[in-house]
């Protein structure tokens, strides 16, 4: 794995993260935005993993776990709010 290859893959994943951000901004309904947020948080975790591999920033691997957990909790919270109008029941 050369560094140029890793930089290219990082660029590809960053572009797909920007596409998710576009859908999150213009999405016509609220579930569209929630789907886009789910994909966005996963792509952000992938970007951080690629940064860990590229620059050997081994401290950042904890950020990946926190991003995965926060994306899941946010998705669940908004989905439950949409369905019932209440998160905690």
By C-beta, is 29 or 88 nearer to another protein? 29
52 counts as binding another protein under rule CB under 8 A = yes
- 51 scored as a contact of another protein (CB under 8 A): no
70 binds another protein (CB under 8 A): no
CA distances 36 to 8, 20, 70, 71, Å, are 23, 5, 14, 11
Residues 68 and 44: their CA atoms lie apart, in Å, by: 9
Angle between helices 3-26 and 30-55 (to 10 degrees): 160
Q: Maximum Cα–Cα distance for the chain, whole Å?
A: 51
Say how many C-beta atoms besides its own lie within 10 A of residue 70's C-beta: 13
State which of residues 7, 55, 61, 87 lies at the interface with another protein (CB under 8 A): 61
Give contact residues for another protein (rule: CB under 8 A). 1, 5-6, 9, 12-13, 15-17, 19-20, 22-23, 29-32, 34-36, 38-39, 42-43, 45-46, 49-50, 52-53, 58, 61-62, 64-65, 68-69, 71-72, 75-76, 79-80, 82-83
């Amino acid at each position: 794995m050369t560094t140029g290859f890793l930089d290219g893959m990082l660029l590809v994943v960053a572009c797909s993260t920007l596409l998710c951000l576009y859908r999150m901004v213009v999405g016509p309904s609220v579930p569209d935005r929630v789907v886009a947020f789910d994909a966005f948080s996963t792509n952000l975790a992938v970007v951080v993993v690629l940064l860990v591999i590229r620059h050997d920033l081994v401290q950042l691997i904890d950020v990946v776990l926190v991003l995965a957990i926060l994306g899941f909790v946010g998705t669940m919270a908004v989905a439950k709010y949409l369905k019932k109008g209440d998160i905690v029941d």
